Amino acid sequence: MSVRVRIAPSPTGDPHVGTAYIGLINYCFAKRHGGKFILRVEDTDQTRCTPESAQAIYASLRWLGLNYDEGPDVGGDRGPYVQSERVKLDLYRKFAEQLVDQGDAYYCFCSARELDVMRKRQQANGEPIMYDRRHRGIDRNEARERAAKGEPYVVRMKAPLNGEFVYRDRLRKQPVVKGWKEIDDQVLLKSDGWPTYHLAAVVDDHLMGITHVIRAEEWLNSLPKHIWLNERLGFTAPEYVHVGLLRNADKSKISKRKNPTSLLWYRRQGFLPEALLNFLALLGHSHPEGKEKFSVEELAAVFDLDRINVAGPVFDLAKLRHLQGQWFRELSAERMKEEIHRAVDARIDQLLPMLKERMACGGDYLTQVEPFYADQVQPHADDLIPKGWDKADATAVLAEVQKLVKSYLAGDNPVWDAPSVETLLREAMTERSLVPEGATDAQRKGAALWQPKGLFMLLRVAATGRKESPPLFDTLAAIGGLKLVERLGHAQLKLR
């Protein structure tokens, strides 16, 4: 039987590096065995999924060169490849009903509110959190009548009450063993009539002839449900293989708070697909000859699922940069020029509106734009001391602003655009320019520093190295928060 594997991302938000990672593994596995690599979009959560996000997934996979043999925008004879379209064809309901008929599933009429109360109580009592199966014994015909009258319901699987589940994952030393009593009566069909992940994935994997499900470790715990569903539905289950999750530096599951997770970001940033893929390949897998730099084709030729290391690898951007450098420097002059053009173009769109008034010809762009690209700027110490200030004043204020920006950036989801930078600074100024009653002369003097005139020039010079620049807040926004913090620090050194 020929190999058929799939990736099944959910189109919520930006396309994720994790998708690329799992995609790469599946892609190589398929190529290695002369099989098919399939993309299926799992958009059964009507509240969270968007078509734009699905488009971004297609575009990103194409950018990476992880071309799928079958998928939403390329077709195939096991389609459609988008679950919402499959819902319209009523592909899932009949399997849910089949299970109900077999006595392997049942209608449940609990409301969300009811379930919430139940969960809270379990939590308070330190009990395991799971559905208490109150409708499990419900009469099937009676239940269907209630449903026919319009009462909202879900269909739940009737998980075995006892016994053990054993499954061997080829990548794990020990077989996966789990007591059935730990396993919940999972919802299969939601009250909106759409399937949950569990039902949809099992049904589709079967219908699409998937032979190996290679997915992230986070699914390991629901493996019994999936095997059970296959069994009760009379399907031959695919082989399930679970690989480790990409991690942040602190070993938690990779998140956008702590790492760039959006494939869009890597593309925008100018990373080459070859380099990203090469880097991803190094995480969790190793080349049999110990090679470090290789193409996807090379990898596919030697790829061995059993060489995958299941411990979650920490995603290390520094290593990616190194590899990217290797690939980048090997580019032909022609291609390198293209890459540079792309990078510059992207930045021009952002910067041009604020720079154009200060330009008289195209070449001026190069001088105007320098502060926005440069790693460092070199302000003159003299320029860093506004009129009427002394060195200590400037240093103190720079340090204060630096601290302010730093803590702002460390906060929850910091927005860094002109309005937010302005708000941040103006609030700080208002606060600090207040003179408390009975203030000392020193306090009075300190407070006086937090006026736009001197402060804005100081920040401008520290941030750009120049006394003239586009409007301050636009400038600070375009430079970026992290770089600004660096430059504020650098300016303090200049004053020493």
Residues between 206 and 245 with contacts to RNA, criterion CB under 7 A = 217-222, 245
Q: How far is CA 76 from CA 18, 211, 410, in A?
A: 25, 17, 47
Amino acid code (one letter) for 359: M
DSSP helix/strand/coil, 95: helix
Is 256 in the active site? yes
Q: Does 172 bind RNA (CB under 7 A)?
A: yes
Contact present, 242 and 169 (Cβ < 8 Å): yes
Count CB atoms within 10 A of the CB of residue 141. 8
Q: Which one among 98, 262, 295, 326 touches RNA, defined by CB under 7 A?
A: 326
CA–CA separation, 245 and 216 (whole Å): 6
- Cα 450 off chain centre by: 40
| Minimum CB–partner distance for residue 46 and RNA (Å) | 8
Q: Which one among 3, 14, 32, 45 touches RNA, defined by CB under 7 A?
A: 45
CA–CA separation, 165 and 176 (whole Å): 8
Q: Which one among 74, 264, 314, 495 touches RNA, defined by CB under 7 A?
A: 314
DSSP helix/strand/coil, 255: coil
Per CB under 7 A, the segment of 190-198, 204-212, 338-346, 376-384 that binds RNA is: 190-198
| Minimum CB–partner distance for residue 24 and RNA (Å) | 13
Phi, psi of 9 (to 5 degrees): -75, 160
DSSP helix/strand/coil, 107: strand
Strands 4-7 and 164-167: unpaired
| Minimum CB–partner distance for residue 66 and RNA (Å) | 18
Q: Does 378 bind RNA (CB under 7 A)?
A: no
Instruction: Give the CA dihedral 281, 283, 289, 294, nearest 10 degrees.
Output: 30
Judged by beta carbon, residue 254 or residue 354, the one nearer RNA is 254
CA–CA separation, 168 and 52 (whole Å): 38
Per CB under 7 A, the segment of 50-58, 249-257, 340-348, 389-397 that binds RNA is: 249-257
| Minimum CB–partner distance for residue 317 and RNA (Å) | 9
Mark residues 48-87: x for contact with RNA by CB under 7 A, - for none: x---------------------------------------
| Minimum CB–partner distance for residue 422 and RNA (Å) | 34
Binding-site size for RNA (CB under 7 A) equals 70
Judged by beta carbon, residue 201 or residue 401, the one nearer RNA is 201
State the catalytic residue, choosing from 256, 293, 406, 445. Answer: 256
**Tokens 């069994």, residue located:** 231
Judged by beta carbon, residue 111 or residue 350, the one nearer RNA is 111
Strand positions, DSSP E, 158-311: 164-167, 176-179, 187-189, 212-216, 239-243
Instruction: Give the CA dihedral 394, 395, 401, 403, nearest 10 degrees.
Output: -170
Q: Which one among 26, 84, 196, 211 touches RNA, defined by CB under 7 A?
A: 196
Helix (H) or strand (E) holding 23: helix 17-32
369 DSSP 8-state letter: T
| Minimum CB–partner distance for residue 313 and RNA (Å) | 3
Mark residues 110-149: x for contact with RNA by CB under 7 A, - for none: xxx--x---x------x-xxxx------------------
Q: Which one among 33, 93, 133, 178 touches RNA, defined by CB under 7 A?
A: 178
**Tokens 């080829």, residue located:** 170
Which residues are at the interface with RNA (CB under 7 A)? 8-10, 42, 44-45, 48, 110-112, 115, 119, 126, 128-131, 152, 154, 172-174, 176-179, 182, 184, 187, 190-192, 194, 196-197, 201, 217-222, 245, 247, 249-253, 282-286, 290, 292, 307, 309-314, 316, 318-319, 322, 325-326, 329
Give the residue numbers marked as catalytic.
Answer: 256
